[in-house]
Structures are given as C-alpha cells and as structure tokens.
Amino acid sequence: MRRRTLAVAITGGIGSGKSEVASVFGEMGARVVSADREAKAVLASARDVRRRIVRLLGEKCYSPAGRVNRSFIAERIFANPSLRRRVNAIVHPEVIRRVRAIITLERKKAKRRLVVVEAALIYEAGMEKMFDAVIVVDAPLGVRIGRIRRRDGIPKSDAVARIRAQGQARRNAARADFVISNRGDRRTLRKTARFLCTLLSGLADIS
C-alpha cells in the first residue's frame, strides 16, 4: 500500500503554544515547516519583495549590509492595520508558494505520514484549503499576555497590541478540525499533541 502524506496546519495566535505543538509533531517524525521562517527568507532573499517593501516602508527596512531590520518593520506595521495588510499582501503570496511547493514535494516523496505547517495566519491568508486538517491552539487571553511578556520582555500594552494584530482566535477555533485548549500546563499540551499526531499519522496510513 502506498502511503499518503497528509498536510496539517497548526495555527493559533501569538502566545498560544502552537510552536510547542509543532515541535512535538516534529519529534514524532513529521516534516515541520515554519511559515515565519519562510517569511523571513522571503524578506531576505526575494528581490521583488525587497524592492516593494522598501518602496512601502523606506530604506530602513534593511541594514547597509542588506539584512532585514525586523524590529523596524514590526514597529511600523503593528500600530497601523492598513500598512500591515499591505505588507502581508506583498509577502504572503510568496510564502504560500513556498509552502505549497514543500507540501507537493513531501507528497511526491511519500516518505513521511505528515507534513506540518506552523503559521499564525492560516485563515487570514486563505491557506486552509491547502491542508487535510487544521489544528488551532487556543489559550486564554491572560495566559497569552503573560507568556508574551515573559518571552519578549515587553509591557502589557505591547503584548495586547501584538495579539490584536493577528485577528480573532475564537473565530478561527470555530472553523478548525481540531482545537487544543492550552491553559498553561506544558505536560498536558505535549500529551494532547502526541495524541493528535498519532491519530493523524494513522489516518495517513488508511487514506
């Protein structure tokens, strides 16, 4: 029997714990793709993207050596929803193209049961139809704020602004195939992630 490789999205707002869930899937043999890392690569290497970003935000988006000034870009777009949408409209199509190419390659090789894409904006970018299943990792707002502040050393107001910049977590959870409620217990989160990975791996064998 030829194995089918299932494409799975793991999404959720900043501070939800989606990276931890993705890491568990990776430990269990899935190919894990980070949309954030792909976006960084696009900003750093795609010439057309770089040209359009500089035209939109200014020369300070890149250092004299050509490195991406992520803090400058983040500062400009977090407080400006219109500008953020315009940046996303430049970067997202190339990220989606790269992610789709990776999924296609993994399905062609058929060596893994799962290829997992970790991304904050699956629904917002219109990517959900690319996947066999979407997992949303959700957490209470207060828990997310605390995690972001501890991780990044930022004030509460900045943490809240980052959360608001990513859209409606509850609305996305209502659309998902699976929802993981992460209330702060890392051991329980990893146990749930292992269960889902085992379940989806089994579906790949019988699809």
For 133-168, the pLDDT digits (tens) are 999 999 888 888 888 898 888 888 888 877 777 766
In the 8-state DSSP scheme, what is residue 17? S
Are the beta carbons of 7 and 119 closer than 8 angstroms?
Answer: no
- Whether 34 is covered by a domain: the verdict is yes
Mean predicted confidence (pLDDT) in 182-202: 93
CA distances from 164 to 78, 102, 205 (A): 9, 30, 39
Q: What CA–CA distance (Å, rounded) separates 98 from 180?
A: 27
pLDDT score of 74: 86
- Whether 175 is covered by a domain: the verdict is yes
Residue-range definition of the domain harbouring residue 197: 6-206
Q: What CA–CA distance (Å, rounded) separates 49 from 52?
A: 5
Of 40, 129, 57, whose CA–CA distance to 91 is shortest? 40
Of 15, 58, 61, whose CA–CA distance to 40 is shortest? 61
Q: Which residues pair with 137 in a beta bridge?
A: 180
Q: What CA–CA distance (Å, rounded) separates 51 from 125?
A: 22
Give pLDDT tens digits for 56-77.
999 999 999 889 998 899 888 8
Are the beta carbons of 118 and 35 closer than 8 angstroms?
Answer: yes
96, two tokens: 């989606």
The half-sphere exposure of 151 on its side-chain side, counting CA atoms within 13 A, is 12
- Whether 17 is covered by a domain: the verdict is yes
Whole-number mean pLDDT of the chain?
Answer: 90
- Whether 24 is covered by a domain: the verdict is yes
Of 104, 76, 102, 71, whose CA–CA distance to 88 is shortest? 76
Are the beta carbons of 146 and 46 closer than 8 angstroms?
Answer: no
CA angle at 55 for the pair 53 and 57, rounded to the nearest 5°: 65
What total of structural domains would you count in the chain? Answer: 1
Q: Look up the CATH number of the domain holding residue 202.
A: 3.40.50.300
pLDDT score of 148: 87
Tally Cβ neighbours within 10 Å of residue 108. Answer: 9
pTM of the predicted model as reported, rounded to 2 decimal places: 0.89
- Whether 1 is covered by a domain: the verdict is no
**Could you identify the residue written with the tokens 């490789």?**
5
